[in-house]
Amino acid sequence: QVQLVESGGGLVQAGDSLRLSCAASGRTFSIGGMGWFRQAPGKEREFVAAISWDGRNIHYADSVKGRFTISRDNAKKTLYLQMNSLKPEDTAVYYCAADVEDRNWFASTIKAEYEYWGQGIQVTVSS
- Kindly report, residue by residue over 73-126, the tens digit of the pLDDT: 999 999 999 999 999 999 999 999 999 988 899 999 999 999 999 999 999 999
Give the number of C-alpha atoms closer than 13 A to the C-alpha of residue 87, restricted to the C-beta side.
Answer: 8
Q: What pLDDT, on the 0 to 100 scale, is given for residue 102?
A: 83
pLDDT at 35 (0 to 100): 98
Whether 120 contacts 103, CB under 8 Å: no
99 backbone dihedrals φ, ψ, rounded to 5°: -105, 175
User: Which one has a higher pLDDT value, 102 or 64?
Assistant: 64
Q: In whole angstroms, give the CA distance from residue 108 to residue 52.
A: 8
Contact 5, 74 (CB under 8 A): no
Mean pLDDT of 47-69: 98
Tell me the pLDDT tens digit for each residue of 12-27: 999 999 999 999 999 9
Q: At residue 126, what is the residue type?
A: S
- When the pLDDT of each residue in the chain is averaged and rounded to a whole number, the result is 97
